[in-house]
Amino acid sequence: MEKFYLTTAIDYVNGAPHIGHAYEKILTDIIARHYTQRCDDVYFLTGTDEHGIKIQKTAAAKGTTPKELCDENAQKFKDAWKALDIDYTKFIRTTDEEHEKIVQHIFDKLLKQGDIYKHSYEGLYCQGCECFLNAKDLTEDGLCPDHLKKPEVVKEENYFFKLTKYKDAIIKHIKDHPDFIVPEFRANEVLNQLEDIQDISVSRAKSNVQWGIDVLGDDEQSIYVWIDALSNYITALGYDNENPSENFKKYWPADVHVIGKDILKFHSIYWPAFLLALDLPLPKHIFAHGWITIDESKMSKSLGNVISPTSVLESFNLEHPDAFRYYMATSAPCGRDGNYSDDDFKEKVNAHLANSMGNLLNRTLSMLVKYFDGEVKAEFKGENPLAKKALGTIQIVKNHFDNFEIAEAGLEITSLVDATNKFVQDTAPWTLAKEEKMDECGQVLVNVLDIMCIIASLIYPYCPNIAADMAKQLSFDLKTKLDDLTTDNIKCGKLISKEDIKPVFLRLDSELADKSAKKQ
């Protein structure tokens, strides 16, 4: 694998980030970090979607300008991603001058080649979706099914994109590439939507929407959000109609666009059509994740249950975001909805990260210090009864990542931790020490520590800080590529002293955790 280019959806900036946005960025960051363990060149793009009527209206209601609102809120997204250790390569804003310029050229090219035409239109516009809806898709009460709001009747002369021209090619692509839409069960929904697809409006009258990119040579129209927003995936790489940049040549097509299920239609129908019209290759995968609910209810401003990701870190006094990252990433199987609850969060991370994984490392290292003064002797190295399970787990985890099954991969890692814990229980190194079977005792401890290196490596994408703490205590190089991992990781000689053994994750309700949080 030479390169891996992955992107998130770009978030609307009419509010601050919530944990639904965070869920997607965490999943993508985990995928990115996993692939850095398999290839040298990973490009991870995220950003913000800043034009459109929603932002224009929110700014007006706040008595500020759209640009000021965008600047203020884009910063909140950047701050949140920093707090969550989202290690992106580039953060694009659709108000970036470079992006705006390329979008204008894309639009112009499509207009000149006849894929975009002008048309007078009356339709039902949902501001929440930032798109026109078909009457048949509304609820019985005439509301948008996603936003439960009545769409407004809009009569305008707009530019339209000939989506219908590309319908057959897209249907063929989806059918020929069963892994184009992930999870596969969503492909049928898309194929159904394609059945009655219409040409789509790609501009709005400036009299109604001023906050948008101008159509070149037309003072009365601004480019409407989706052609602007979706193009970010190529403008970020410096796409140019005539003269594609080195980055574009190197990274396009994207290996995966990570998005929520609500915007799958735009990514698996509109985006491929725009790309086909531009004569560009299609992305390899569109991974549509599920929805995050709070205590099993939909997150909404009106219910007052919107949770910001940083508030979770603060309320649990978390030193780093690993526990939250782990919890969110494992909250739902691939493509299914997940849920956040404070109690469940505490219970799960205490069980998995503190009791199972952290404790296993801590007590194994403590025994090595107690019985051998932290020294690994040559006699302790040898066959590892856990080798088959551990090496098998690496393979299974890789396969899960290839299918974007992030929670499923997490469970496999937990299962390796459980098997290692069981091995310690079964072999009882403390009894071996009592019986003075010291070589056997040392072998068990080193068997476990060798596997802990693999666990540190596998857990790294989810919990980079915990993994770094584990690796430090194991003198293990976390940069080791997954394919180079073996079960012979611990070097002979002094591994650790008593004062260097530190719990890698403290239970959230423990006194120690409270004390260490207060110290900061």
In the complex, the smallest distance separating the C-beta of residue 260 from ligand ME8, rounded to whole angstroms, is: 2
Per DSSP bridges, beta strands 375-376 and 493-494 are: antiparallel
Q: Peptide bond preceding 183: is omega within 30 degrees of 0, i.e. cis?
A: yes
Catalytic residue among 51, 70, 99, 126: 126
Backbone φ, ψ for residue 490 (5° rounding): -85, 130
129 labelled catalytic: yes
CB–CB of 66/225 below 8 Å? no
Per DSSP bridges, beta strands 42-49 and 4-8 are: parallel
| Spatial distance between the Cα atoms of 459 and 506, rounded to a whole number of angstroms | 17
- Is 49 among the residues that bind ligand ME8 (CB under 6 A)? yes
Comparing CB distances to ligand ME8, the nearer of 148 and 351 is 148
- Is 200 among the residues that bind ligand ME8 (CB under 6 A)? no
Tokens representing 272 are 């491929």
| Spatial distance between the Cα atoms of 4 and 32, rounded to a whole number of angstroms | 8
Residue 338 gets the label, from left (phi > 0), alpha (psi -120 to 50) or beta, of beta
Catalytic residue among 62, 90, 298, 370: 298
Per DSSP bridges, beta strands 42-49 and 90-93 are: parallel
In the complex, the smallest distance separating the C-beta of residue 294 from ligand ME8, rounded to whole angstroms, is: 8
Pick the piece of the chain touching ligand ME8 (CB under 6 A) from 6-14, 358-366, 407-415, 439-447: 6-14
Comparing CB distances to ligand ME8, the nearer of 237 and 470 is 237
CB–CB of 284/3 below 8 Å? no
CB–CB of 75/48 below 8 Å? no
User: Which residue among 86, 292, 307, 448 contacts ligand ME8 (CB under 6 A)?
Assistant: 292
In the complex, the smallest distance separating the C-beta of residue 427 from ligand ME8, rounded to whole angstroms, is: 43
- Is 72 among the residues that bind ligand ME8 (CB under 6 A)? no
515 labelled catalytic: no
- Is 29 among the residues that bind ligand ME8 (CB under 6 A)? no
- Total number of residues binding ligand ME8 (CB under 6 A)? 19
- Is 77 among the residues that bind ligand ME8 (CB under 6 A)? no
298 labelled catalytic: yes
Tokens representing 80 are 């949140």
User: Which residue among 4, 11, 126, 222 contacts ligand ME8 (CB under 6 A)?
Assistant: 11
Residue 481 gets the label, from left (phi > 0), alpha (psi -120 to 50) or beta, of beta
- Is 181 among the residues that bind ligand ME8 (CB under 6 A)? no
126 labelled catalytic: yes
| Spatial distance between the Cα atoms of 254 and 251, rounded to a whole number of angstroms | 7
**How many helices (H) and strands (E) are present in the chain, helices listed first?**
21, 19
- Is 448 among the residues that bind ligand ME8 (CB under 6 A)? no
- Is 96 among the residues that bind ligand ME8 (CB under 6 A)? no
Tell me which residues in 212-271 interact with ligand ME8 (CB under 6 A).
Answer: 229-230, 232, 259-260, 262-263
- Is 22 among the residues that bind ligand ME8 (CB under 6 A)? no
In the complex, the smallest distance separating the C-beta of residue 290 from ligand ME8, rounded to whole angstroms, is: 7
- Is 86 among the residues that bind ligand ME8 (CB under 6 A)? no
| Spatial distance between the Cα atoms of 150 and 143, rounded to a whole number of angstroms | 4
In the complex, the smallest distance separating the C-beta of residue 351 from ligand ME8, rounded to whole angstroms, is: 24
| Spatial distance between the Cα atoms of 427 and 420, rounded to a whole number of angstroms | 11
In the complex, the smallest distance separating the C-beta of residue 156 from ligand ME8, rounded to whole angstroms, is: 22
Residue 356, number of CB atoms within 10 A of its CB: 15
Give me the residues that bind ligand ME8 (CB under 6 A), please. 9-12, 20-21, 23-24, 49, 229-230, 232, 259-260, 262-263, 291-292, 299
Residues designated as active site = 18, 21, 126, 129, 144, 147, 298, 301
